[in-house]
Amino acid sequence: MTYAVSRAERPALRAGVLHGELVVDIEQALAAHGRALVADDPSDLLQVIAGGHPAIEEVRAAVDAVARAGETGRPGAERLHELGSVPLVAPLPRPNSLRDYLVIEEHMRGVVAAGVIKEVPEEWFSVPAHYKGNVDEIYGPEDTVPWPAYTDKLDYELEICAVIGAPGRRIRAADAGRHIVGYTLYNDWSARDIQAREMSIGNGPGVSKDFASSIGPCIATPDEFDPATAHLQARIDGEVWSAGTIGTMQFSFPELVEWTSQEQTLRPGDLLGSGTIGKGCGVEIDRWLTQGCVVELEAEGIGVLRNRVGHKGQGPARAVALPER
């Protein structure tokens, strides 16, 4: 996870690990136990992830040691924080890339039933198609997500992202586990009326998606989270609108890795979205968000990703003012 601490006039972002009810600072834990991590800045979670599984194991050992000892460190170099005492931000405030696929069968059947499309295209069964999201409009826990002035139908989408940890090209599905460092929740916010107009042209989506994507609250490693069996839920103002597991994926995450890496290199910090779970969005169930509502996505093993929806045309409001890029 990534969290913020106050530093003079602007916050500093820190990489941490959730250990029970504690947030353990990665850089400080490593320093306390003399462990080496090849990274220019171990306070940057993306650089930690780029170290691959060896780096993750070094971090795990150091964090476990600090948590067992209850070491707080010197003032200004705290190693431990109570969960809730520091604000969380998106675990990767700017991912390397964001690809969102459309591979969950129940969702495809749902949008047909809702009249969004006439039928499931034959090519859907053989090609794991995706669109590329906007990595410069990433929101994290407790952020207010903007309601664009150009849409009257804002929708949430309950999804899971696989996070690439080790680079690779022409990766076989059987080897993909070496390249997936973990999973996080993903809310693929959608302006449905604009999406329909854009895609009627045979292109897109564009501005119907580019205004916001939410990820978080943390990245769970594969030993902590099973995307096939984890229970997922979406609540709007406390009411459950969507619930279930990810369901039948026409292509698994390892198969998405294999397909995508055929003639391009996947890199640390790339996100591969599953697409929406069945009945995991408003358009499938004909229920629509309202301005000011609170949307909570939850997954066993990951936690709760909570966002408030802003008022139309008002713009974003982040829980933590991120440092300038």
Domains of the chain: 2-86 (no CATH), 89-312 (3.90.850.10)
Strands (DSSP E) found in 261-314:
270-273, 294-299, 303-312
Q: Which residues contact 188 (CB under 8 A, 6 or more apart)?
A: 100, 133, 157, 159, 209, 213, 273, 276
pLDDT value of position 312: 94
8 Å CB contact between 60 and 23: no
Sign (positive or negative) of CA dihedral 39, 44, 50, 56? positive
Predicted confidence at residue 220, as pLDDT, reads 96
- Beta-bridged to residue 239, according to DSSP, are 236
pLDDT of residue 42: 78
Overall size of the chain counted in residues: 325
**Which pLDDT does position 268 carry in this prediction?**
96
Can you say whether the dihedral through the CA atoms of 3, 307, 93, 323 is positive or negative? negative
- The predicted pLDDT at position 215 comes to 98
Check residue 77 and give its pLDDT: 63
Contacts of 257 (CB under 8 A, 6+ apart): 162, 164, 168, 171, 173, 176, 179, 180, 266, 272
Alpha carbons 315 and 308: distance in angstroms, whole number: 12
Q: 3-state class of 27 per DSSP?
A: helix
CA-to-CA distance for 279 and 110, rounded, in angstroms? Answer: 7
pTM of the complete model: 0.93
Helices (H) and strands (E) in the chain, counts: 8, 19
Residue 250: its pLDDT value, please? 95
Predicted pLDDT at 71 = 65
- Averaged over successive runs of 10 residues, the pLDDT of the chain (325 residues) comes to 72 89 91 74 88 86 86 69 92 97 94 87 94 97 96 98 96 96 97 93 92 97 94 98 95 98 97 96 96 97 97 84 63
Torsion angle (degrees, nearest 10) of CA 113, 119, 125, 126: -150
